[in-house]
Chains A and B, each alone.
Chain A
Amino acid sequence: MSIMNEVELANTRAKLLRLEKRFAELSLDTTEDRRVREYTLRSLKGTINQFKEEIARYQVRLVVRA
């Protein structure tokens, strides 16, 4: 999936911010089951990286076009 316009870019950025905030919170939360926490952090990180890649690809396309 790729970002096609500024609205999609803004929405992806907003989701990315929420994911990064949640990742930081959970990283410090030692009350969660250890394995559940590990898997959750890994999944959050995967989605964070995916969104970062999509944002970067969109921005590169803008530069190329300009």
Chain B
Amino acid sequence: MSHMIPPFTVTGVLPLGVHPATLVEITARFGQSSELRRVQMESVRWMIDLATRAGVQRIVLNGSFVTDILEPNDVDCVLLIGSGFPSDATATKELDVGLPFLEMKLVGLVDFKEYIDDIFGTDRFGVRKGMIEVIQ
């Protein structure tokens, strides 16, 4: 199944909403246009693998990585965890240590929604913007 990541707005961000996309689609759209983006994409790929093994339920990507900037600063991520977390101690330990370029937030449901709706969901001018949800 193909999911269309929408075009950027005039300000270079995604339109409002959480846009589902597969790893292949994310790579094609955000992970190839510069060497820095290719390296950041490697971190994203590694994080998704670790998060899946650790029992993370949902992964949303934000930050300059999901904008039209050629060389983003970082990839902000919010990861939904639940009562079964962590399901793999080794993967969780690696997530705890962190990954290059990734700013990860592992949170419960209430705060997952808060990050999406407010903390990550608006830019510094208070304008709402879009994000990417990683799907299988």
6 nearest A-B pairs in the assembled complex, by CB-CB distance: A43-B105, A8-B124, A39-B106, A36-B108, A40-B107, A33-B83
A3 to B122 CA separation, bound complex (whole angstroms): 14
Query: Contacting A39 at CB < 8 Å: which of B103, B107, B114?
Result: B107
Contacting B at CB under 8 A, from A45-60, are: 46-47
Contacting A at CB under 8 A, from B14-63, are: none
Distance between A66 CB and nearest chain B CB, rounded to angstroms: 22
Which B residues lie within 8 Å of A12 (CB)? 124
Which B residues lie within 8 Å of A4 (CB)? 124
Query: Contacting B125 at CB < 8 Å: which of A7, A19, A22?
Result: A7
Cβ-based interface call for A61 (8 A): no
Known A3-B124, A36-B81: A18·B108 in contact at CB below 8 Å? no
Contacting B at CB under 8 A, from A30-44, are: 32-33, 35-37, 39-40, 42-44
A4, A22, A37, most chain B CB atoms within 10 A: A22
A24 to B125 CA separation, bound complex (whole angstroms): 26
Cβ-based interface call for B100 (8 A): no
B: number of interface residues (CB 8 Å): 21
A66 to B90 CA separation, bound complex (whole angstroms): 51
Query: Contacting B119 at CB < 8 Å: which of A8, A32, A47?
Result: A47
Q: Is the CB of A39 within 8 A of B118?
A: no
Which B residues lie within 8 Å of A11 (CB)? 122, 124-126
Cβ-based interface call for B9 (8 A): no
Distance between A53 CB and nearest chain B CB, rounded to angstroms: 13
Query: Contacting A32 at CB < 8 Å: which of B108, B118, B124?
Result: B108
A44 to B111 CA separation, bound complex (whole angstroms): 9
Q: Is the CB of A35 within 8 A of B124?
A: no
Write the chain A residue with the least CB distance to B107: A40
